[in-house]
Amino acid sequence: MRDAKKLFIRTYGCQMNVYDSERMAEALAESGYVTTDSPEDADLILLNTCHIREKAAEKIYSELGRYKGLKAARPDLRIGVAGCVAQAEGEEIMRRQPMVDLVVGPQSYHRLPELTARAESGGKAIDTDFPEEDKFEKLAGPRRARRGPTAFLTVQEGCDKFCAFCVVPYTRGMEVSRPPAQVMAEARELVERGVREITLLGQNVNAYHGAGEDGDWPLARLIGELAKIDGLERIRFTTSHPNDMDDGLIAAFAECEKLMPYLHLPVQSGSDRILKAMNRRHTAADYVALIGRIRAARPDILLSGDFIVGFPGETEEDFARTMALVEEVNYGQAYSFKYSPRPGTPAAERDQVEEAVKSERLARLQELLDAQQQAAQKAMVGREVSVLFEKPGRMAGQMVGKSQYLHAVHVTDPSVRAGEIRAVRITASAPNSLAGEVI
């Protein structure tokens, strides 16, 4: 009997890509593929790509270059590009890298088995449609690729907000929410497979509005119903837009014990002029007021954000307002980026800020954000947290997991098993993790 065909997937970008890679592996399992951790063994290599910044997209071409030798040695090897670069640059990828056999955009993953079959028989397969049919319905096979106690679950995809810097509306399409029954069924299946924490995903997850049989389900309702699932202990969601943080969702942080006290709420800039130019549709004061309401509901919540420096037109004064907002909010964790012009987005056409200025501002912002993160972590020392343990750590006898605040926590304790939630006293803070002792 011929050995099973082997699939190697490399995932770039956001958590939704991690989820999508799992679903693609499940879809291809139906066509006889098992996953492998090494490209050398693979019959099919899939790169699941990200287009959010230029650097992210350029990585794909250098990664493809690395597979040239493999492809020359084994002409049967098939190479595919999935994800947001595939969606944005499908035809061009095939032109620039003729060794690519298959290109598939995020809305066509359910068609992967037939596209792969075409590639296997020597043809080129490209699908960057935005099909009418329900991708998730068709992808709803068993979640067999699932390992470990935490899982992502996409509930909403796409975006209609058109921030002037962002490719997402073009690569992921318009906002779509999955029906609540579909989400609930997938969550139950995950919990049956040992999952204890689910992170609900969407490019605009708090804009979720699922069409339930009894009417519209906003995200707060979905979280409330998920919380009733026995065995599901923790719920998180990401990523959110400030304008969609409704009262019900804020109240959920106060009322729903299973909703973890962590919120990623990007603001991008602290300057009203820049926020307007970005088409964010709120002011810095609106955001700060919103944070105040969220903190009133859940005083210990750990806040995270995203920032862009050097957006077209950003002056030193605008940047100073971003720094002031960061000072005022005080983040536990955050991501910050230099503005990267993306083809086809409005801001790419505007006058650009010099690269050296962007770099210098980014360094100043990151210094402040890092100081806030370190202060938040040091403040945990001596405190008791609850940790969901996920896997062994790098040192012998070590286990790592996440606290309710999403801090990585490690302990050295032979009694701890993956999948357990234990009370831990934090004893030390390292740059990107905490150490503790099981109580």
Cβ within 8 Å of residue 75, ≥6 positions away: none
Query: What is d(CA 226, CA 152) in angstroms, rounded to the nearest whole number?
Result: 14
Closest distance to ligand SF4 from the beta carbon of 438 (Å): 36
Closest distance to ligand SF4 from the beta carbon of 167 (Å): 6
Closest distance to ligand 5AD from the beta carbon of 267 (Å): 9
Binding mask 149-188 for ligand SF4 (x = CB under 6 A): ------------------xx--xx----------------
Q: Which two tokens stand for residue 80?
A: 């595919």
Residue 362 binds to ligand SF4 (criterion: CB under 6 A): no
Binding mask 267-296 for ligand SF4 (x = CB under 6 A): ------------------------------
Contact assessment for residue 201 and residue 215, using Cβ atoms and an 8 Å cutoff: no
Query: What is d(CA 209, CA 427) in angstroms, rounded to the nearest whole number?
Result: 42
Query: Helix, strand, or coil here: 282?
Result: coil
Out of 6, 7, 13, 33, point to the residue binding ligand SF4 (CB under 6 A). Answer: 13
Give how far the C-alpha of residue 148 lies from the chain's centroid of Cα atoms, to the nearest Å: 18
Give how far the C-alpha of residue 292 lies from the chain's centroid of Cα atoms, to the nearest Å: 25
How many residues interact with ligand SF4 (rule CB under 6 A)?
14
Contact assessment for residue 119 and residue 101, using Cβ atoms and an 8 Å cutoff: yes
Residue 308: which of ligand 5AD, ligand SF4, none does it interact with, CB under 5 to 8 A by kind? ligand 5AD
Query: What is d(CA 269, CA 40) in angstroms, rounded to the nearest whole number?
Result: 44
Region near ligand SF4 per CB under 6 A, out of 13-21, 127-135, 174-182, 290-298: 13-21
Q: Which is nearer to ligand 5AD, 116 or 372 (CB)?
A: 372
Q: Which is nearer to ligand 5AD, 63 or 306 (CB)?
A: 306
Could you tell me which residues are beta bridge partners of residue 48? 11, 82
Out of 9, 52, 303, 411, point to the residue binding ligand SF4 (CB under 6 A). Answer: 52
Residue 16 binds to ligand SF4 (criterion: CB under 6 A): yes
Residue 84: which of ligand 5AD, ligand SF4, none does it interact with, CB under 5 to 8 A by kind? ligand SF4
The string over 69-88, giving b where at least 16 C-beta atoms fall within 10 Å of a residue's C-beta and e elsewhere, is eebeeeeebbbbbbbbbbbb
Place of tokens 């938040």: 376
- List interacting residues with ligand 5AD (CB under 6 A): 52-53, 165-166, 266, 268, 306, 308, 337, 339-340, 342
Query: What is d(CA 388, CA 422) in angstroms, rounded to the nearest whole number?
Result: 7
Q: Which residues bind ligand SF4 (CB under 6 A)?
A: 13-14, 16-17, 50-52, 83-84, 167-168, 171-172, 203
